[in-house]
Amino acid sequence: ITYATITMTTRQASFGAGCFWSVEENFRKEFGNSLDKICVGYQGGNTPDANYEQVCGGDTGHAEVVHMEYQDSKVEYEDLVRLFFKIHVPTASSGKKSQYRSSIFYYDKDQLERAQRVRDTMIEEGKVLKNCPTLFEPAGDFWEAEEYHQNYCTKHKYH
């Protein structure tokens, strides 16, 4: 018997879709056991080690995001992107500086292209608005939110 060596590659994905509590809950329900890690935090801003109060102040430029680590052998990135678009309706009013903006944070060019293809397909299928204002932003640093924000919906039975 010959056993093939399986190389596990850990990937990252981050999505901003409004308040991070329900976004995290949706990804947990859909992919929970397939993810190595899921947490909420702040990304896309210019303040190192940002916290909730700073982000809410509006000067950091961060978005509230759900951040995931996963094995590409267990989760398809396109499936994460599809769920992102399924669980929220991006609006132009959220704006680039808003902590609640609709954003896909990409970690490499391949991820950017894959996310854009999913968006374009969903637009063609009529599942996403033609003028979808979701931003595609380079991932940059991710700052994990305070513990009381993690898994909030489950802790507070808020669904």
Residues labelled catalytic: 19
Residue 103 to residue 64: CA distance in whole angstroms: 10
Quick one: DSSP state of residue 133? -
> E strands, the chain, where?
10-17, 35-43, 63-71, 102-106, 135-138, 142-144
Burial group, residue 87, by CB count within 10 angstroms (0-12, 13-18, 19+): middle
Which residues in 112-133 are b (16+ Cβ under 10 Å) and which e? bebbeebbeebeeeeebeeebe
Residue 59 to residue 94: CA distance in whole angstroms: 15
